[in-house]
Structure 1
Amino acid sequence: MIDALTLGQLRTFVAIAEAGGFRAGAARLRRAQSAVSHAVASLEQELGIALFDRDGRRPVLTPAGTALLEDARAVLLKVDTMRARAQGVSQGLELELSVIVDTLFPLPLACAALQAVHARYPSVRVQLQVAPLGGPLDALLEGRCSVAITVGNDLHDPRVKKEPLTTVPIVPVVSSSHRLGASLRARKRLSADDIGEHLQIVLIDPTPLSARRDFNVLSPRTWRVGTQEAKQALIEAGVGWGRLPLWTVETALRDARLLRLVASNLGPAGEAREQAYVAHRRDRVLGPAGRAFREEVLCRV
Structure 2
Amino acid sequence: MPYRPKTTIEQWRILQAVVDAGGYAQAADLLNKSQSSLNHAVAKLQSMLGVELLEVKGRKAFLTEAGEVMLRRSRMVTQQIEDLERLADTIDKGWEPEIRIAVELAYPKQYLYRALQTFYPQSRGSRVQIIDSVLTGTAEIIQEKRADLVITGQVPRGFLGEPLCITRFVPVIGSQHPIASQGKVELAELSQQLQIVIRDTAQKPQEQSGWLKSEQRWTVDNFYEAIEILQLGLGFCWLPDFSVQAGLHDGSLQLVDLASGGEKLAPMALLSPYEEQLGPGSRLLRQCILAAHTNEQSKEIACTINS
State how far apart, in whole Å, the 2-side matches of 1:53 and 1:35 are. 17
Matched residues, number: 291
Confirm or deny that 1:217 pairs with 2:212.
Answer: yes
Residue 242 of structure 2 is aligned with which of 233, 243, 247?
247
Partner of 2:167: 168
Instruction: Give the superposition deviation at 1:217.
Output: 2.0
Partner of 2:62: 60
Instruction: Give the superposition deviation at 1:236.
Output: 2.7
Instruction: Give the superposition deviation at 1:70.
Output: 1.0
Q: Check 1:121–1:62 CA distance in 2 against 1; reply closer, same or farther (3 A cut).
A: same
Instruction: Give the superposition deviation at 1:104.
Output: 0.9
Partner of 1:196: 191
TM-score, normalised to structure 2, is: 0.80
State how far apart, in whole Å, the 1-side matches of 2:138 and 2:188 are. 33
Q: Retained in 1: the 8 A contact 2:196–2:226?
A: yes
Residue 98 of structure 1 is aligned with which of 89, 97, 100?
100
Which amino acid is 1:102 matched to?
E
Partner of 1:7: 9
State how far apart, in whole Å, the 2-side matches of 1:277 and 1:247 are. 17
Confirm or deny that 1:226 pairs with 2:225.
Answer: no
Which amino acid is 2:68 matched to?
T
Report the aligned-residue RMSD. Answer: 3.0
Partner of 1:183: 182
Q: Check 1:4–1:243 CA distance in 2 against 1; reply closer, same or farther (3 A cut).
A: same
State how far apart, in whole Å, the 1-side matches of 2:60 and 2:21 are. 11
Which amino acid is 1:281 matched to?
P
Q: Which runs of 5+ in 2 are unaligned?
A: 294-307
Partner of 2:231: 236
Q: CA offsets per residue over residues 217-262 of structure 1, 9 Å max, x none? A: 2322222222210101222332121111011123433444432224
Instruction: Give the superposition deviation at 1:118.
Output: 0.8
SS of alignment partner, residue 182 of structure 2? helix
State how far apart, in whole Å, the 2-side matches of 1:214 and 1:276 are. 15
State how far apart, in whole Å, the 2-side matches of 1:240 and 1:105 are. 23
Q: Check 1:74–1:141 CA distance in 2 against 1; reply closer, same or farther (3 A cut).
A: closer
Confirm or deny that 1:277 pairs with 2:272.
Answer: no
Confirm or deny that 1:76 pairs with 2:78.
Answer: yes
Instruction: Give the superposition deviation at 1:284.
Output: 8.4
Q: Check 1:5–1:169 CA distance in 2 against 1; reply closer, same or farther (3 A cut).
A: same
TM-score, normalised to structure 1, is: 0.82
Residue 130 of structure 1 is aligned with which of 129, 132, 140?
132
